[in-house]
Structure 1
């Protein structure tokens, strides 16, 4: 074997190393690789924008389309996931301005580094277009005016939410200096609002950019619903109390407050997509969605905005209880945290009593269920409202029923309906909409009370959602009693009907323009039949008079509801379409019903 001379060998090592690093930068286009922090000539930290070179960004800008905007841009929302570098470039190409001298860039604190919930830096960033300097005067002034802010440089060294956008800022805002801020989601609504207002008042000529990706780790059919709620919130200038399924609610609250103070609340969306839609992955665990756009002067959209996630039967006894006692009371919910976030309110059916009552045999008819209070304490973290209008609420008698109602109230869980009555209904604000929830247990309650409750709520101009417990167990097709009751509820003034009890899914139909979902199936249950392990939630979004209803399938695997893949969801949509009325079959295949609500 012939050996290479030492100098030739060294040269080849350097070539291989350089080539490897270059390829790594291209391969990791959607990832973040950082060089060590250095010291700028003024002794401030010098951070790296990453390994991507100027060609990477020039290629992104070459794919960008320019969107003409005659009004001054006051703020923007951009992704930091470099998988969509061309869309980030398009956003910056559209909003870029040589006359802007200060950019406030806000990112989530992805790694929870540091002590404060809001942190600011005096560092600078090395980018392929040169060093992006920090506006030291603006940083010092903000520190003096907001006690929540703290200078914590260690939090910025590897924060890709800041670093990823610095090359775009340096290229599109060549005369701007940076005010970098990162926030933790523990920042309260009040704190975020004060910070956003303070930034607007202290730096009236600054342009604020929120660096945030949207939905994470979910199939596209769920991410699309959550992003639709987020897009509506952006257009309305506020989420009105909901927790959006995004990188950072704190960041968006700061953005909303900044825009409100500036009077710049007109939202211009440029792009909505996801890793799955781009073909970058088929694995929901790797999915990230993206929303990019900007705001100009003017008021936000006004009118109705509310969003809900409605789920089916929740049973926390029997073998579900055994699993919780072994693995923790959060066990049934572990795969649904992000699935159940992203809307104003989550509603489910509470299929049992709560408390330390002496347990009966729940494995034999009539299957009396009792849940430990610890299970409902965890439930309260995921579900806001429950129906008690079902055939198991009274399993342990009147005293236990009253105790259950009191326990739910003490846990902050609102409830409606009872074992033998559609009253009381629950009237509450969801977003900015007055909603009335009416429950009905077909097997004990009087339909006359049901109709009266709906008529009263409708007469008060409330958006009436009926949640009946009805039908034949394990039947995939609604029986005649369900169809008759549905017609009565529509005639009485119900605006939406979503049912449960059969333990399997049933289809949907429209009755006089009112959507009726006959059965969502189980949400948390332990029945052995395979058909009872499949269910769907209904995502509800009302924006002005437009009502969108999203079908969100899942499977129960080892007592844990779990989102299905987009491929399996498509099969479930097809199955539900076959079970639905003829006029709805095409839209059910798409997993979404859109209708116009006529108050």
Structure 2
């Protein structure tokens, strides 16, 4: 278990020191490599990246509103027992669906989410290594709120990706090295609400939007040249629909062709299913994770992938349910079977293969 303890605050060098693995970087969303890992004992850096097996974990939408806001009174325990599952991976990523700000003007939309800076303490304590902020709530409080989100992440030394002060930052991957494997993680949104106003431009802060297909595909292709493993975390889909839309099905193959090894998504507030596009692993939707409302499906879970080189060699979904506190709780027995049965049905509409091609 590489992440056996929650991690505390970071120094200005933005280097996370873990007890078991040595140094793991935690950078702001600039596309640059960071200090390599160091530590005692044998070094996996001498092992070719395609011979290293990594365990990755992904989960869905997270924020701290209404019933989940009080959880930040103790950030170290905000996620509850499921944090042990998140920590039990070499790399863990979720979607932080909120502006981290106390300022800004609410935008012309129905729902507005924001959280204090202790949100970063909570995700770090839960074992999360980085978060996507390419979603339809990061600019709920305008550019002021987005810039606060970026600034507070930098001060906290916590990696965020998928948005930036301009288009170059927004489309840049988060780059990290884990056990000698260079990993690039990109975030993008395919949600149409306020998309034209929220898209990052050369002179405007914003989100990396998947609607700019040329820019999105180029970003993946550029990441392919820099990394051994390329992951794209997308905010896409139709709320409440357990099947991928035609738009999603059209975009995923373009990401695969550009060099994405793993594509995972969120937004629909319900679980979608997974499979392969050739050698690219795709999970269309992870549902809600730490969630403010009981209005949506409570089905949730943690996606655990084992990767060797560029290939996902094992995929396992750990079913959970969003509890009355908003915290996801792993389930067993009849509750687990019910979720797995739903996923079996949902897989039929993905158009994906059950095994790599």
TM-score (norm 1): 0.46
Partner of 2:85: 339
The answer on 1:367 being equivalent to 2:111 is: yes
Match for 1:534 among 299, 305, 313? 299
Q: How far apart are the structure 2 equivalents of 1:453 and 1:393? A: 21
Q: What SS does the corresponding residue of 1:343 show, helix, strand or coil?
A: coil
Cα pair 1:313 1:348 within 8 Å, conserved: yes
Partner of 2:320: 554
The answer on 1:424 being equivalent to 2:172 is: yes
User: CA offsets, 1:488-512, max 9 Å, x none?
Assistant: 1112111111000111111123212
Match for 1:356 among 102, 109, 112? 102
Q: What SS does the corresponding residue of 1:505 show, helix, strand or coil?
A: coil
Q: How far apart are the structure 2 equivalents of 1:566 and 1:543? A: 31
What aligned pairs does 1:162-311 form with structure 2 within 5 A after superposition? 189=19, 257=41, 303-311=51-59
User: CA offsets, 1:517-565, max 9 Å, x none?
Assistant: 110000111232352x111221122235652222121111011111111
How far 1:586 moved relative to its partner?
10
Partner of 1:573: 340
How far 1:595 moved relative to its partner?
4.8
Partner of 1:465: 231
Partner of 1:274: none
Structure number with larger C-alpha Rg: 1
Q: How far apart are the structure 2 equivalents of 1:345 and 1:540? A: 10
Cα pair 2:223 2:230 within 8 Å, conserved: yes
Query: Would the alpha carbon gap of residues 442 and 530 (structure 1) be closer, same or farther in structure 2, given more than 3 Å must change?
Result: closer
Cα pair 2:62 2:288 within 8 Å, conserved: yes
Partner of 1:387: 132
User: CA offsets, 1:168-197, max 9 Å, x none?
Assistant: xxxxxxxxxxxxxxxxxxxx84xxxxxxxx
Q: How far apart are the structure 2 equivalents of 1:583 and 1:356? A: 40
Give structure 2 stretches of 5+ with no counterpart: 1-17, 25-38, 196-208
Q: How far apart are the structure 1 equivalents of 2:249 and 2:351? A: 16
User: CA offsets, 1:362-390, max 9 Å, x none?
Assistant: xx943121101223222221221011111
TM-score (norm 2): 0.74
Q: What SS does the corresponding residue of 2:83 show, helix, strand or coil?
A: coil
The answer on 1:450 being equivalent to 2:216 is: yes
Q: How far apart are the structure 1 equivalents of 2:280 and 2:304? A: 16
Partner of 1:41: none
Partner of 1:94: none
Cα pair 1:386 1:414 within 8 Å, conserved: yes
How far 1:316 moved relative to its partner?
0.9
Q: How far apart are the structure 2 equivalents of 1:312 and 1:301? A: 28
How far 1:460 moved relative to its partner?
3.2
Q: How far apart are the structure 2 equivalents of 1:541 and 1:526? A: 30
Cα pair 1:303 1:544 within 8 Å, conserved: yes
Match for 1:502 among 262, 268, 282? 268
Give structure 1 stretches of 5+ with no counterpart: 1-187, 190-237, 243-253, 266-298, 588-593
How far 1:360 moved relative to its partner?
5.5
How far 1:324 moved relative to its partner?
2.7
Partner of 1:403: 148
User: CA offsets, 1:381-435, max 9 Å, x none?
Assistant: 1221011111111111212212211211222221111289551221211232111
How far 1:334 moved relative to its partner?
1.5
What aligned pairs does 1:105-144 form with structure 2 within 5 A after superposition? none
RMSD between aligned alpha carbons? 3.4
Q: How far apart are the structure 2 equivalents of 1:545 and 1:379? A: 27
How far 1:461 moved relative to its partner?
4.6
Query: Would the alpha carbon gap of residues 585 and 571 (structure 1) be closer, same or farther in structure 2, given more than 3 Å must change?
Result: farther
Q: How far apart are the structure 2 equivalents of 1:424 and 1:583? A: 28
Query: Would the alpha carbon gap of residues 430 and 581 (structure 1) be closer, same or farther in structure 2, given more than 3 Å must change?
Result: farther
Q: Which has the higher helix share?
A: 1
Q: What SS does the corresponding residue of 1:340 show, helix, strand or coil?
A: helix
